[in-house]
Structure 1
Amino acid sequence: MADTVKTRTYRSTLRAEKAQQTRRSVLLAARSLFVEQGYEGTSVAAVAAAAGVSVDTVYASVGRKPELAVAVVDMVLASSDEPVPARERDYVVAVQAAGTAREKLAVYAAALRTLIPRVAPLLEALRRAGEVDEASARAHRAVMDRRAANMLLLARDLRATGEVRDDLSDQDVADIVWSTNAPDYWLAMQSRGWSATRWSNLLEDLWCRVLLSP
């Protein structure tokens, strides 16, 4: 009886590992294709072919195209081969570890300098797709709502330093950061010839001037 249980456990472990490997292959293929060909130019069938699996396997392991896009965004934001929750990302940990509000905002702005130019085109394409596809619209709204929730956590972290203006609520702080670091704001500034470095420096200066006490 014990040998039977061990065999079943072993087989179950192998299945779980194989499923994880398949999911990782799908995610890596999706990231590569989205980066190279864009959201519109990438089909689920192409992702499946690149990963060496069936379309149904892509659906089962990750989801449909909007879910693939969100997973890839999370991979890029985490600088990882796997989607990582926001609280576990290196730059979020670094922001939380910084001692002053100015230091926290500087760390965050510096991280956005690299990250937003990489995810903004994908999120903008997902938004456009949402104009005609409800699943894409839901996925885009979920990302934006998640960003807003994360900015509220940042606002509370900033508040704990004692440096945030008293006349601004945590929600005010979160909304200001959320709007100014939005992907479409970066794309607008990029269209005016701004570099990612100049944009991130602007964010740091803007946030310090607007959010913090003199």
Structure 2
Amino acid sequence: MEQETAKPNRRQMQAAQTRRDIILAATQLFTERGYARTSVADIAARAGVSVQTIYSSVGQKAQLITAMLDEIDSIAGIPELARQAAQATDAREIVGFQARITRQLNERCRDILAGVRSASAVDPDLAAAYAAGNARHVAGVRLTVERLAAVGALALGVDQAVATVSVLTSIDVYTQLTTDHGLSFDDCEAWVRTTLETVLLSR
């Protein structure tokens, strides 16, 4: 008989929330002041915790950047969507998961992403974090493309498809759709899905 997954208890839930509060406080301060001008004490004050809590919950200051990227993935629900996409066999369903990942990343995390991107222009450490985030984006896109190739539905070469999808699902495109053209997140998701189906899938 398969065992049920144990639910997190109250202490675990509180610890997870504290960790998230620390990471979000660090994100805010890094984007406001820059990484170098933000101390661990500053982050502790913004998050309402002790410095020792930061060290025990997340780690040293440098580890906060990696934690920021992990937290973005968690907030956007990417791990579960990526797992479902990896198991899907229908090409349009696979494309749909990519469109949903893109939607949730932008809908739930755009302020964080935009802040890190803005600060990356003047802060080398945040520039590295932003580049690492872009690398994660491309790696995720490659998994989608390779899944489409595996089910025999890809109309382009893998590298060409990765480049195409990476651009079409970038934060720049989503910002243009929502800000410049006034599309809702529902409309954006539908646009991304339809566009990717048109470009990627063999007829």
Band of TM-score, shorter chain: 0.7 to 0.9
Distance 1:175 1:114 in 2: 21
Larger Rg: 1
Q: CA deviation at 1:129?
A: 0.7
Q: Counterpart of 1:48?
A: 44
When the two chains are superposed, the root-mean-square deviation of aligned CA atoms in Å is: 3.2
The answer to whether the aligner puts 1:189 opposite 2:189 as a matched pair is no
Q: Secondary structure at the match of 1:132?
A: coil
Q: How many residues align?
A: 184
> What corresponds to 1:201 in structure 2?
190
TM-score (norm 2): 0.75
Give the counterpart letter for 2:163 in structure 1: D
Residue segments in structure 1 that go unaligned for 5+ positions in a row: 1-19, 79-85
With over 3 angstroms needed to count, the CA separation of the structure-2 counterparts of 1:126 and 1:156, relative to structure 1, is same
Aligned equivalents of 2:158, 2:174: Cα separation in 1: 23
Change (3 A) 1:135 1:72: same
Q: Which residue does 1:73 correspond to in 2?
A: 72
| Aligned residue runs from structure 1 range 114-193, under 5 A | 114-165=104-155, 168-191=156-179, 192-193=181-182
- Partner-residue secondary structure (3-state), 1:40: helix
| Residue identity in the other structure for 1:124 | A
Deviation at 1:97?
1.9
Name the counterpart of 2:6. Answer: none
Cα gap change, 1:146/1:115 in structure 2, threshold over 3 Å: closer, same or farther?
Answer: closer
Query: 2:31–2:115: 8 Å Cα contact kept in structure 1?
Result: yes
In structure 2, distance between residues paired with 1:135 and 1:63: 11
Q: Which residue of 1 aligns with 2:59?
A: 61
Shift of 1:107: 2.6
* Structure 2, unaligned runs of 5 or more: 1-11
Moved more, 185-194 or 57-66: 57-66
| Residue in structure 2 matched with residue 28 of structure 1 by the alignment | 20
